[in-house]
Structures are given as C-alpha cells and as structure tokens.
Amino acid sequence: MKDKIVVLLKEKKNEFLSGEELSISLGVTRAAIWKYINTLREEGYNIESSPKKGYKLLESPDVLTFGEIHNFLNTKFLGRNLIHYESIDSTNIKAKEIAREGCSDGTVVISEYQSSGKGRLGRQWVSPKGKGIWMSIILKPDVDPSFASKITLIGAASVLKAMNNLGINNCSIKWPNDIVINNKKVSGILTEMSAELTRINHIVIGIGINVNIDVEDFSKELKAIATSLKIEKNKSIDRKMLLAEVLNSFEPYYEEFIHNGHIPSTIDLCRENSILLQKEIQCIRGNSIFRAKAIDISDNGELIVELPDGKIEHIVSGEVSIRGLYGYVDS
C-alpha cells in the first residue's frame, strides 16, 4: 500500500493529491491513508500536508522500493512484484522461501542491508546498508534444467549493459558471474536452482553490486580484489536508476532464453566484454587445479579452454572457479 501511495504522489509531481482521492483510488479509509503517510514520513519521505489540499511529495529517501524505481522501470513483468526489506540475512535465502510458497515469475527480493550475504562457494559478500544493490530475482522458466547455467550469463550481461547505459563503460565480464572494473570485482552473481529430473521448480539469481561503497568499508583483504562504482567514478551513482536499468536489461535477455532456450544476444555481449579470453587462467575444480588458455565462449555459454597438451575442453558455469595465473584476473 505504501508503494501505491508513493506512485500516486509521484504521478502528481509537484501538486497536491487529496486524501479523498487517495482513499478512493486505493479503496481504504482516509484514516488509513493518514497512517500510511505518517509511516512514509518515518521512513524518510518529506511529505507536505494541507487540510484543504491533501498531500504533496517534496523529497524521497534513497531506498530501492517499487514506488521509487517505478518511473524508471519499463519491464512487462520483471520486478513488477518487488519485495523490499530494510535488513535481511540474505536475499537468496528469503527468495528461496518465497519461491517455495509460490510467487510470480520475475519477483524481485531486495534489501538495503544483508547480514549474511553470500557469494559463490559460500564466500561472504559485504553488504553495507544503503550503499549497494543486494537483490535476488525469482525465475520460473519452462525449460530443461540443463539450460539453467545460462541464467548466470544473462545476469552478468544485464549488469554490464545497465552500467554501460549509465555511462560506466570501463567494465568487463569475468566469466561467468563477476563484473570487473580495473581488475577488481564490482558485482557478483550467485544462481541457485530447485528442480526435478525434467522440470525447473524455480531459479533464484542473486545479484550484488557495490554501488556507493567507500574504500574504508572494505577490509584490507577485500581492497585488493574489490571496488565500487563510486570509487571508480569518484562520484555517487543513482542506485534507483541502476536497479531499474538492470531489470530493464535482464527481461529481454530472459525472454530470449525462455522462448527458445538459447541466448545469442547474451553470448555476444559476454564475448565482446570478456576479460578472460585469450588469457592464461587457473581452473579450480574441487581439489584439482589446472592451467589452460581461455579461447572462447560457446553458443551454449560454456567457457572453451585449451589445455597445455592442446586438448580443448568446454567448461560449464558452476563446475569450476576461474582465476588469473597471478591473481583475481591477472595472467
């Protein structure tokens, strides 16, 4: 209900909207409207009120609710059901709970802060309050479970394209799930699936983007491999616009996927912006570590590598962890 009030107030722009109009539009009492308005004020909204004119929105807080990104969103279904939290342990954990209970395809779970954010292989993901985008998208594609690994590449392509759309053009993709700027990680993607033998129950794709994190927010260890858009651009980035751009970019890539199981547009962008191709890399598979040269990304989203003995191997997303020979991406 709060999101609906914000949307209506924003549609009026700098004009007053009467309590009676809000009451009729939303099907609740004027007393209920007054309570919601007060709650919004407590959350940081500057709303002017007049006994004769109604309510006027003067200023909004920097929060990633549907009401705040609505004007930037042009998707048909992705993010139209957006569940926002102030604080949560992990958006992926919550999204899996919501998916099991039942929700629409394209539901987004987002939080201003994560206390137990996780990356791949159980690594901790630092998620300071109000300084990043910490979200999970719930997907229910009617495709073979063997195609699910392609979703990670769709996430990476969508984040990179969104950054490009906001004028952040010096980013690359470290196959399959990291976005890199100046050889440091700025975004990571974690895809988890619930499936049966021949059908997918749901896929949860977690996306973390270090937007306005300051240098001092990173530990000494993370400073060597992680960065934020604010650090790289030397200015704060509009989180609302970036979130909307990620969702706007994701939906057409996802629709291409669910219509035929293939992702040519995604693959093209991942190839063009790969930081690994034609480099010597380390591949970590369980307790085994082997060297190879990254040659290409296949039409199915696999990383094609050449082994020291000249043999060619296709690596599926999730099978291995990829590193540069001398660091995170360096070779």
Per-residue pLDDT of 253-282, as tens digits, reads 999 999 988 899 999 999 999 999 999 999
DSSP conformation class of 216? G
Residue type for position 118:
K
- Which parts are annotated binding residues? 90-92, 114, 185
pTM for the structure as a whole: 0.90
Contact between residue 250 and residue 258 where contact means Cβ atoms under 8 Å apart: no
Question: Look-up: residue for tokens 């809000």?
Answer: 22
Please say whether the dihedral angle defined by the alpha carbons of residues 59, 60, 61 and 62, taken in this order, is positive or negative: negative
How large is the greatest C-alpha to C-alpha distance in the chain, in angstroms?
Answer: 81
Residue of 210, 245, 244 whose CA lies nearest to 230: 210
- Domain 280-324: give its CATH architecture: Roll (2.30)
Contact between residue 107 and residue 138 where contact means Cβ atoms under 8 Å apart: yes
pLDDT at 314: 93
175-215 residue pLDDT tens: 999 999 999 999 999 999 999 988 999 999 999 999 999 99
Has residue 74 got a pLDDT over 60? yes
Domain ranges of the chain: 2-59, 66-272, 280-324
- Which parts are annotated binding residues for biotin? 90-92, 114, 185
Superfamily of domain 66-272: Bira Bifunctional Protein; Domain 2 (3.30.930.10)
Cα end-to-end span (Å), the chain: 52
Rounded to an integer, what distance in angstroms lies between the CA atom of residue 113 and that of residue 127?
6
- Helix (H) / strand (E) containing 240: helix 239-260
pLDDT at 286: 80
Q: What CATH number matches the domain at 2-59, 3.90.25.10, 1.10.3720.10, 1.10.10.10, 3.40.50.1970?
A: 1.10.10.10
Residue of 225, 152, 158 whose CA lies nearest to 190: 152
Token digits of residue 229: 């858009």
